[in-house]
A and B are shown apart, each in its own frame.
Chain A
Amino acid sequence: MLFNSYVFVAAFLPLTLGGFALACRFGRLQAALFLLFASLVFYGWWNPHFLPLLAVSVGANYAASALIMRYVARPRWQSAILMGAVAGNLAALFWCKYLAAMLWFLRAHGIAEVALADPVLPLGISFFTFTQIGFLVDCRQGQAREPSLLNYALFVSFFPHLIAGPILHHREIMPQFADATTWRLRGENLAVGSAIFLIGLLKKTLLADPLAPIASAGYADPSALTLFPAWHAALAYSLQLYFDFSGYSDMAIGLARLFNLRFPLNFHSPYQAQSVIDYWQRWHMTLTRWLMLYLYNPLALYIARRRAARGLPIDRAARSSLRGFATMVALPTMVTIGLAGVWHGSAFTFVVFGLLHGVYLCVNHAWRLWRPGPRSAAWHAVVARVALTYGCVLVGSVIFRATSLTDAGAMLGGMLGLRGVWLAAPDLHAAVGVLWLVALYAIVWGAPNTQQIMRAYAPALGRAATGSWPRLVWQPTLPWAVAFGVAAMLGLLSIGGTGEFLYYRF
């Protein structure tokens, strides 16, 4: 079930809110059980065959966490259980997401003759797998303990984050489950949650979705694109991805807020980033956090310990040497971001996308270590940094979107003008298209984001939103009610989609 579907907006959400309000009257247990039930309905709506997979995953990981907590006095046993559970999670993920592609690759290159029909990817498997691996690791380190299966199951499967994140951390959610005020509907949270959800819905349906046909048409045959259409398609996709993910993250945060839960911030104007390091701290923030906590940090720590054991220095000066930089910074960065690329999918383009961002980050880290002086705060320097960062991200997004590296190369070639510069004939549609992109970039770089608009009500966990535009800070007032009434009407209308099938143009 998608957040921007009729069945969700017109049926599932009102019924779930009503049911939750009713269940809260009977107590916390009943309310939590109801939310779990609703989440399973949400998950199984598209394909009920995947419900057992989710149930087994939750059950097995809960059992593993219970075993880890039971053998506190036997660290080796704990480690063995942890490794077994993590291996099981990764095996399931590999089977569903990567095995068919890998066998196809081996077959295509004549290495093996085994073939497997493309399995249908269970929704959200990467998200609930990562959430649970993080929980198990924290259990092993003594930082997590959850005796309640119900709480654990709800933490993993709560529908606002189940399909596309944010990737939750137990320390953010379990205390909220323990808070008695969570288990009754609250007017303020309904208002704030609805407003955030609406903003997200409009971003998705009005800003992101209309760009999809432009991007799809361009990426369908990039080898035919000259300079202008290539840039048009690449920028359209970059913005589509931005507003799509931003909208989805807002909707997830808003939905959780309706049920009195605050989710971590997952998206914070990433195209305003002034470096690629900054970009990854603003884009899919909970994935970055997960990768840092459970991949980068352990790897960097392991390398540092190995160096220390061999008597090698591990301080900043050591990182500044070429060899120290390569082992202590570049290696964990490339491994982490490389795997982050593969996390997005099994195509080879995702590997290259990850490695490219790994290179960006290494260059960025090197610049921080060896740059000549402090960062200038002058506006032109800020603009230059934002532009450079966005340019790097744009190249990455071309590789991310293209169906093959050949197509990615063709698109980048078109953007460099290798197939000519000018469009065939100026037309009204092209002019409107360009103006529309300009307007969207004005939103991306100039308008306050959702957290800033809703900052009076602490919309998400994590960094506190600041900013100017005080008149654009949401308040429960009449003008805002009217504005959001119009927005709600537009949101409801736009669920039907902004696409139009114009046969006459083909």
Chain B
Amino acid sequence: MLAAVMAAGFVLVWAWVAAMPLAYLDPEYPVWRAKLAMLQRCDLGEVLVVGDSRAAVDVMPALLPVKTTNLAVGGGMPIEAYVAVARAMACPVPPRRVVISLDAAHFAVPDLFWERTVKFGFVGPADLALLRRLALATGDASLATPKVSDGLSAALRGWLYAWRFPPLYFGSLAKSGLFLRLWSNQAAYADALAARGQYFFGRDDGSSTVAVEGRMAGFVPLPVLDRYFDRMLALLAARGIPADFVAMPMNQATGRAVLPGVRAGFAAYLAHYEARYPGFHVVGPAMLAWPDHYFGDGFSHLNPRGAALLSMRFGQCLQGRLEQASQSDCVPRLEE
């Protein structure tokens, strides 16, 4: 009887977990799902934005003059950018231009890859198999190995995520009360689709908290992330699609705290790839700061006012670059 009750309950929960992720997964999931939906529909437009959370927040496609899709994600690293670009390249009409925006830390520190990218289904078993191969080739297992030590191998964990194995989602199930996030997640999903992938984190009227770059001792990219960045640029070059690297601003407190070596190392790293791939351009400085009052949280995500300002200017620049007329910076340098 004990076994029967346990098995029946487990199967029911598994069915719920597989069928209704919007009902229980955390509030960032609907945004990722919206981006995946646009990718699957090949509803991408002329410009594709990939990168990390700053790009996800700062670039508002609704304010841009050309149809743009923002597929940048919270904690995004070159691996997520590569996966998005690779899928976009498989569309019948790929975007005309790709904008890449990643901060220095997302080349150097593994973020919550397993806890979100894999858990949300942004990458699947085939992507993870590639990751393992690249980890083996580079000798860098920092991303391929989950941080938790519960005895599951990375391959098995990836497979269990793909099948939505309920214990891996238990935290979300418990915190959501099984279904209480359904309505807010549905609304967030609709909002993200309407905003073509853009969403906000903090909405404060300013932040002077030093973000992660301000705490970096040096710029040393992880070998496996470097390999993904290279693969992405190579893929775009092979398809003849130009790519621009546009740094999103950090707040001034962070700008002051960034060590010169980090700034120079990151710029040199990007310059190396700019020289290697003719279609890849670093537009503007690799790191720049804006006044603190434009930021909505301690991670240098712009608040709505800052994002609107950036997007207006970014739109003009983008139009020019599409017409191959503009060489100006896409993100203005603002002073206090």
Residues of A within 8 A of B (CB): 1-2, 5-8, 45-46, 194, 206, 210, 478, 481-482, 484-486, 488-489, 492-504, 506
Return the contact of B171 from the options A6, A488, A496, A506 (Cβ within 8 A).
A496
B75 contacts the other chain (CB 8 A): yes
Report yes or no: B116 in contact with A496, Cβ–Cβ below 8 A: no
Residues of chain B from 66 to 117 with CB closer than 8 A to chain A in the complex: 74-75, 112, 115-116
Report yes or no: B5 in contact with A489, Cβ–Cβ below 8 A: yes
Report yes or no: A485 in contact with B151, Cβ–Cβ below 8 A: no
In whole angstroms, what is the CA distance A8 to B53 when docked?
A: 37
Report yes or no: B26 in contact with A496, Cβ–Cβ below 8 A: no
By beta carbon, the residue of chain A nearest B9 is: A489
Residues of chain B from 1 to 18 with CB closer than 8 A to chain A in the complex: 1-6, 9-10, 13
Return the contact of A489 from the options B6, B152, B168 (Cβ within 8 A).
B6
Report yes or no: B167 in contact with A498, Cβ–Cβ below 8 A: no
By beta carbon, the residue of chain B nearest A10 is: B151
13 further A-B pairs in the complex, CB-CB below 8 A; given A485-B1, A493-B13: A2-B150, A5-B151, A7-B150, A7-B152, A210-B174, A485-B4, A493-B167, A496-B170, A497-B170, A498-B170, A498-B174, A503-B28, A503-B112
Report yes or no: B175 in contact with A481, Cβ–Cβ below 8 A: no
In whole angstroms, what is the CA distance A5 to B149 when docked?
A: 9
What are the 8 tightest A-B residue pairs by CB atom distance, in nearest-first order? A485-B5, A7-B151, A496-B167, A489-B9, A501-B115, A481-B1, A488-B6, A500-B171
By beta carbon, the residue of chain B nearest A205 is: B170
In whole angstroms, what is the CA distance A499 to B26 when docked?
A: 11
By beta carbon, the residue of chain A nearest B201 is: A504
Report yes or no: A493 in contact with B173, Cβ–Cβ below 8 A: yes
Report yes or no: A481 in contact with B2, Cβ–Cβ below 8 A: yes
B166 contacts the other chain (CB 8 A): yes
Report yes or no: A500 in contact with B1, Cβ–Cβ below 8 A: no
B275 contacts the other chain (CB 8 A): no
Number of contact residues on B: which range applies?
35 or more
In whole angstroms, what is the CA distance A486 to B8 when docked?
A: 9
B172 contacts the other chain (CB 8 A): yes
Return the contact of B151 from the options A8, A493, A497 (Cβ within 8 A).
A8
Please indicate the chain A residues that have their CB under 8 angstroms from the CB of B172 in the complex: 500
Report yes or no: A485 in contact with B167, Cβ–Cβ below 8 A: no
In whole angstroms, what is the CA distance A406 to B75 when docked?
A: 34
Residues of chain B from 141 to 179 with CB closer than 8 A to chain A in the complex: 148-152, 165-175
Report yes or no: A6 in contact with B152, Cβ–Cβ below 8 A: yes
In whole angstroms, what is the CA distance A501 to B25 when docked?
A: 11
In whole angstroms, what is the CA distance A493 to B169 when docked?
A: 8
Pick 18 A–B contacts, CB within 8 A, sort by A: A206-B174, A482-B1, A482-B2, A485-B3, A492-B10, A495-B150, A496-B150, A496-B166, A496-B167, A496-B170, A496-B171, A498-B170, A498-B174, A501-B112, A502-B28, A503-B116, A504-B28, A506-B297
Please indicate the chain A residues that have their CB under 8 angstroms from the CB of B74 in the complex: 503-504
- Measured CB to CB, the closest approach of chain A to B334, in angstroms, equals 25
In whole angstroms, what is the CA distance A488 to B13 when docked?
A: 13
In whole angstroms, what is the CA distance A501 to B171 when docked?
A: 9
Report yes or no: A493 in contact with B166, Cβ–Cβ below 8 A: yes
Please indicate the chain A residues that have their CB under 8 angstroms from the CB of B189 in the complex: none
By beta carbon, the residue of chain B nearest A501 is: B115
Report yes or no: B116 in contact with A501, Cβ–Cβ below 8 A: yes
Please indicate the chain A residues that have their CB under 8 angstroms from the CB of B2 in the complex: 194, 481-482, 484-485, 488
Please indicate the chain A residues that have their CB under 8 angstroms from the CB of B290 in the complex: none
- The residue among A45, A194, A206, A504 with the most chain B CB atoms within 10 A of its own CB is A504
Report yes or no: B10 in contact with A489, Cβ–Cβ below 8 A: yes
B122 contacts the other chain (CB 8 A): no
Return the contact of B148 from the options A7, A482, A488, A497 (Cβ within 8 A).
A497
Please indicate the chain A residues that have their CB under 8 angstroms from the CB of B175 in the complex: 498, 500
By beta carbon, the residue of chain A nearest B175 is: A500
- Measured CB to CB, the closest approach of chain A to B26, in angstroms, equals 5
Please indicate the chain A residues that have their CB under 8 angstroms from the CB of B298 in the complex: 506
- Measured CB to CB, the closest approach of chain A to B23, in angstroms, equals 15
By beta carbon, the residue of chain B nearest A7 is: B151
B299 contacts the other chain (CB 8 A): yes
Return the contact of B10 from the options A206, A493, A496 (Cβ within 8 A).
A493
By beta carbon, the residue of chain A nearest B115 is: A501
- Measured CB to CB, the closest approach of chain B to A290, in angstroms, equals 29
Please indicate the chain B residues that have their CB under 8 angstroms from the CB of A497 in the complex: 148, 150, 167, 170-171
By beta carbon, the residue of chain A nearest B112 is: A501
In whole angstroms, what is the CA distance A149 to B167 when docked?
A: 41
- Measured CB to CB, the closest approach of chain A to B108, in angstroms, equals 18
In whole angstroms, what is the CA distance A493 to B115 when docked?
A: 17
By beta carbon, the residue of chain B nearest A1 is: B151
B284 contacts the other chain (CB 8 A): no
In whole angstroms, what is the CA distance A8 to B149 when docked?
A: 12
In whole angstroms, what is the CA distance A496 to B166 when docked?
A: 8
In whole angstroms, what is the CA distance A493 to B26 when docked?
A: 18
In whole angstroms, what is the CA distance A492 to B168 when docked?
A: 10
Q: Given A1-B151, A6-B150, A486–B5 Cβ distance below 8 Å?
A: yes
In whole angstroms, what is the CA distance A506 to B207 when docked?
A: 13
Please indicate the chain B residues that have their CB under 8 angstroms from the CB of A5 in the complex: 150-151
Please indicate the chain A residues that have their CB under 8 angstroms from the CB of B27 in the complex: 502, 504
In whole angstroms, what is the CA distance A498 to B175 when docked?
A: 8
Report yes or no: B171 in contact with A498, Cβ–Cβ below 8 A: yes
